[in-house]
C-alpha cells in the first residue's frame, strides 16, 4: 500500500474533531464523559470503553457516546470495530458530518480511497463549511494523484516520460507534508 500523504495529520484531525465535539456537549453529558476521558487520557482504554459502554446502554441513541466509542476503538487499533460503530452512526445520524469524516480516515488508511471520497463528500453535504473534511478530501486526492504518478513512472516507456512522472510524484510528496503547526 502506498502511504497516504499527511495521514498522521489526517488521523490527528479526526481525533481532534471527536474531542472538540465532546467539548461542545451538554453539561450533563460532559460530566458523564469526564471520567471516561480521564481514563482514556491516562491510557486506560479498556476501563474507558467499559464505562462508556455502560453509558451507551443507558442512552443508546446518544451520538456523542458512539463517537467516543469509535475513537477509543481506533486508539486500541480495532479499526474494524470502529468502522462498524461509525457506519451505524452515519446511518442513524446522516446529518452529522463527523462520523462520515472519521469513516473516511479509516477507509483511507486501508487504501479504500473510493469509499473515503464517498464519506468525505457526505460529510461536506452535511456541513459544507467543515474544514477538516475539506482538508481530508485534499489529502485523499493527493493520495490518488501520487498513486497515478507512481503507476505512470513504473510503466513509462521512455526516459523523459518517466522523469516527468517522478518529478510530479516528488512534488506531490512535498505538498503532502505540511509544517507541524498547521492544525485543522
Residue 142 lies in a domain: yes
Question: What's the chain's average pLDDT?
Answer: 81
Residue 132 lies in a domain: yes
Residue 138 lies in a domain: yes
Distance CA 121, CA 127 (A): 10
Interval 110-130: pLDDT, tens: 989 999 999 999 999 999 999
Residue 79 lies in a domain: yes
Residue 162 lies in a domain: no
Query: What mean pLDDT is predicted for residues 23-38?
Result: 70
pTM of the full predicted structure?
0.73
Residue 159 lies in a domain: no
6 band by pLDDT with thresholds 50, 70 and 90: low
Total of domains in the chain: 1
- Cell numbers for 127, please give them: 456541513
More confident residue, 64 or 29: 64
We report the CATH number of the domain holding residue 110 as: 1.25.40.10
Residue 161 lies in a domain: no
Residue 160 lies in a domain: no
What pLDDT was estimated at residue 74?
Answer: 93
How many percent of the chain have pLDDT more than 90? 55
- Residue 97 lies in domain: 8-149
What pLDDT was estimated at residue 179?
Answer: 33
Distance CA 168, CA 153 (A): 10
Distance CA 134, CA 74 (A): 21
20 band by pLDDT with thresholds 50, 70 and 90: very low
Amino acid at each position: 500500500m502506498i502511504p497516504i500523504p499527511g495521514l498522521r495529520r489526517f488521523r490527528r484531525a479526526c481525533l481532534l474533531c471527536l474531542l472538540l465535539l465532546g467539548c461542545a456537549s451538554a453539561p450533563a453529558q460532559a460530566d458523564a464523559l469526564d471520567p471516561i476521558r480521564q481514563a482514556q487520557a491516562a491510557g486506560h482504554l479498556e476501563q474507558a470503553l467499559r464505562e462508556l459502554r455502560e453509558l451507551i446502554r443507558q442512552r443508546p441513541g446518544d451520538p456523542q457516546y458512539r463517537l467516543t466509542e469509535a475513537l477509543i476503538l481506533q486508539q486500541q487499533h480495532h479499526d474494524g470495530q470502529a468502522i462498524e460503530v461509525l457506519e451505524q452512526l452515519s446511518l442513524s445520524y446522516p446529518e452529522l458530518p463527523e462520523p462520515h469524516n472519521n469513516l473516511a480516515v479509516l477507509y483511507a488508511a486501508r487504501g479504500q480511497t473510493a469509499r473515503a471520497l464517498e464519506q468525505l463528500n457526505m460529510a461536506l453535504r452535511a456541513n459544507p463549511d467543515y474544514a477538516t473534511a475539506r482538508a481530508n478530501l485534499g489529502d485523499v486526492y493527493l493520495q490518488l494523484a501520487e498513486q497515478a504518478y507512481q503507476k505512470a513512472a513504473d510503466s513509462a516507456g521512455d526516459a523523459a516520460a518517466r522523469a516527468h512522472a517522478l518529478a510530479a510524484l516528488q512534488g506531490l510528496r512535498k505538498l503532502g507534508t505540511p509544517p507541524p503547526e498547521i492544525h485543522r
